[in-house]
Structure 1
Amino acid sequence: MWRAVASNGLTLLVVVLFCGAGLVLWGQRQYTQPGPLEQAICLRVERGATLSRVSEQLAAEGAVTHPAIFRLGADYTGRSGQLKAGSFLVRPGASMDEITAAITQSGRSTCGTELNFRIGIANAEVQVRELNPETERYEVTIEYDPGAEAAPEGYAELAARADLRYRVTLAEGVTSWQVVEELKSAEFLEGAVAELPAEGSLAPDSYEVTRGAEREELIARMQQRQAAILDELWAEREEGLPLDSREEALILASIVEKETGVPQERGQVASVFINRLNQGIRLQTDPTVIYGLTEGRAPLGRGLRQSELRSNTRWNTYVIDGLPPTPIANPGRASIAAALNPDETDFLYFVADGTGGHAFAETLAEHNENVARWREIEAERGGN
């Protein structure tokens, strides 16, 4: 009798273990296989939200069929405590595993409505855009210059939304004065900037911020990022450059930034100035003259006069030898990289070529021919 009981008990245990193993395998398949979502959605995870709440959101949106399995899978993979706040794009057919990764990894929002405060060379621009989950493309809904016009209809209502994300973007080549002045009109930021940041110390980039963030804290983030970029690229610089410090690299990079907007030209432009520094030839670059006149506080808005090319300012590289005393703008990573690893050329001159780029020359005679061609192009354009 006892043998029969033991045998039956063992059989029952095997069945239970077998069913348990099958249940685990089924759960694993449910967690990793494509999900039921038919159309992309933008999942908003509030600050302080729990995984349980998010799993119910996903079930309500039709992205998961078993919220409990979603929670168990996140716990099993060690990600249940890594939930990030933000708005995350969930694509059609996304598995629970893919959704978990999206809401626990970078924390960078990938959808929803975003206000981007863009600081450009000429002015600032507020651009509100929203990601259409179906097309996965951002659609601009509001666009205006906060320094020149009032906010358009609908902006106040939009700005009051709790799920609105904010971003501040700096263009390459903006000056520190421009950045501080434009940030004053970013109504979602708070606080004053007590001291103008050193020219060149701000990294042109895109920064996600929250409503009510301090302007000085944002400036500090920009400076930290620029310092990190400069440290990284300085360590990888070409040997033998006539640059004695990171500050001199930043100065040269800012000149490269202001001289060309053509990415593939940066290395060539940098090579011209490196060659001139090596040969003791003055840099003779117009953007430094302009900075000496304006100190970065406004665009000049006109061409340089001959008298200004002879003006005695600390930045006039037609008058002074070597580099000016400070950067003339905030250069981007690519221009810093070009200054520290320029192309190998014998170029000593360049002038506009009429296409948006430049014609480079090794000799003064060749350069004069290029200048003559450029003047012909200017004359033709003036006559049209």
Structure 2
Amino acid sequence: MNDTPRVAPKSPSEALKPVAPPAPPPKLRRRRRSPFLAMLSGLFTLLLVAAGVVGAGIAIVSNQSKAPGPLASDRAVIIPKDSGLTEIAELLQREGLIEHPLSFRIAAVIGGDWHKLKAGEYLFKARVSPQEILDVISSGKVVEHSITIPEGLTSEQIVERLRENDLLTGEIAQIPKEGSILPDTYRFPRGFSRKGILDRMARDQNVVLEKIWAKRPADLPIKTPQELVVLASIVEKETGRADERPRVAGVFINRLNQKMKLQSDPTIVYGLVGGKGTLGRPIQRSEITQPTPYNTYV
């Protein structure tokens, strides 16, 4: 027996009536989004976009800073004192070392070099990259120049040479004592002081003289290091040939041991012209016996 319920058939009039659509389901009420959360979401998105832009910019600047620059040949450039990063970048652009000052400044800030840049004269190789430029300027390894002081010059002549060198700066207030500074070749950066060179020469002279004095023969008729310098200066002026100096020195040592006068012509000249060094003419007979503090004939 079938237990399925039976549905009564509809009458013809009922079958012709339109069927009403089913009632729509009740609408679910959407929770309103918090304005604060919306702001945070937008800010986070903005930060992500900004980070991407900054990262791409850093990558571009990094590549540019390592690429060869436009400099065609080696060049020395002077970075003035108290120059800021902007002034340095503009100077490098004018000198043809970089093409993009802004990129250079950004690279300096990113790399942490912007506060290490030092004034001075620097030599840059052709096609040097911006990063290499930053490395050079921040290292402080400036170009070094040299001045050679030949042996045999008086202190006055040495000072005059220093004054004529336009790479040095500052005045020399007092001429050093004769024999107190060492002739040699000295290296210095542009703008170094003339007094600084003299101070270095004096220190070197003391070091050399102490070493020589410590090794002197016991029977040498010289009482002080200063007397040693005086005798060496006389020997040097007596002959321009280094191979003759030991023989000349031997003659003077023998004269000193025998209490004889040295009778050296250069001492006459120095007594007449002092630190100027040269007489410019032969010694006159009357000048041989002319008393001066230096004339070893009298």
Output the TM-score relative to the length of structure 2.
Answer: 0.54
After TM superposition, give the deviation of residue 49 of structure 1 in Å.
0.5
Question: In the aligned structure 1, how far is the partner of 2:163 from the partner of 2:97?
Answer: 42
After TM superposition, give the deviation of residue 192 of structure 1 in Å.
9.0
Aligned residues of 2:61 and 2:106 also touching (Cα < 8 A): no
Give the one of 124, 129, 149 matched to 1:90. Answer: 124
Q: Which residue of 1 aligns with 2:202?
A: 227
Q: Which residue of 2 aligns with 1:239?
A: 215
Number of residue pairs the alignment of both structures matches: 234
CA distance 1:37–1:190, change in 2 (3 Å): closer
Question: In the aligned structure 2, how far is the partner of 1:251 from the partner of 1:74?
Answer: 59
Q: Which residue of 1 aligns with 2:177?
A: 198
Give the one of 116, 125, 138 matched to 1:81. Answer: 116
Question: In the aligned structure 1, how far is the partner of 2:110 from the partner of 2:177?
Answer: 48
Aligned residues of 1:48 and 1:85 also touching (Cα < 8 A): no
CA distance 1:69–1:174, change in 2 (3 Å): same
Give the secondary structure class of the aligned counterpart of 2:275. Answer: coil
Q: Which residue of 1 aligns with 2:91?
A: 57
Q: Which residue of 1 aligns with 2:81?
A: 47
CA distance 1:52–1:254, change in 2 (3 Å): farther
Q: Which residue of 1 aligns with 2:48?
A: none
CA distance 1:222–1:49, change in 2 (3 Å): closer
Q: Which residue of 2 aligns with 1:352?
A: none
1:258 lines up with 2:292 in the alignment:
no
1:35 lines up with 2:69 in the alignment:
yes
Instruction: Write the letter of the residue equivalent to 2:215.
Output: E
After TM superposition, give the deviation of residue 291 of structure 1 in Å.
0.9
After TM superposition, give the deviation of residue 178 of structure 1 in Å.
5.5
Give the secondary structure class of the aligned counterpart of 1:43. Answer: strand
Instruction: Write the letter of the residue equivalent to 1:251.
Output: V
CA distance 1:298–1:234, change in 2 (3 Å): closer
Q: Residues 1-384 of structure 1: matches in 2 within 5 Å?
A: 27=62, 34-65=68-99, 67=101, 68=103, 72=107, 76=111, 80-86=115-121, 88-96=122-130, 98-100=132-134, 102-104=136-138, 105-108=140-143, 172-177=151-156, 193=173, 197-202=176-181, 218=194, 220-221=195-196, 223-237=198-212, 239-241=215-217, 242=220, 244-259=223-238, 265-266=241-242, 268-276=243-251, 278-279=253-254, 280=257, 283-297=262-276, 299-318=278-297
Larger Cα-atom Rg: 2
CA distance 1:90–1:101, change in 2 (3 Å): same
Aligned residues of 2:61 and 2:107 also touching (Cα < 8 A): no
Give the secondary structure class of the aligned counterpart of 2:92. Answer: helix
Question: In the aligned structure 2, how far is the partner of 1:202 from the partner of 1:240?
Answer: 20
Instruction: Write the letter of the residue equivalent to 1:58.
Output: L
Identity of aligned residues (%): 28
Post-superposition Cα deviations, 1:300-335, rounded to whole Å, max 9, x if no partner, equal 22112345445444423345xxxxxxxxxxxxxxxx
For structure 2, list consecutive stretches of 5 or more residues without a partner in the other structure.
Answer: 1-50
After TM superposition, give the deviation of residue 84 of structure 1 in Å.
1.4
Instruction: Write the letter of the residue equivalent to 1:240.
Output: R
For structure 1, list consecutive stretches of 5 or more residues without a partner in the other structure.
Answer: 1-15, 111-166, 320-384
Give the secondary structure class of the aligned counterpart of 1:300. Answer: coil
After TM superposition, give the deviation of residue 50 of structure 1 in Å.
1.6
After TM superposition, give the deviation of residue 171 of structure 1 in Å.
6.1
Aligned residues of 2:113 and 2:134 also touching (Cα < 8 A): no
Question: In the aligned structure 1, how far is the partner of 2:67 from the partner of 2:262?
Answer: 62
More helix by share: 2
Give the secondary structure class of the aligned counterpart of 1:44. Answer: strand
After TM superposition, give the deviation of residue 95 of structure 1 in Å.
3.7
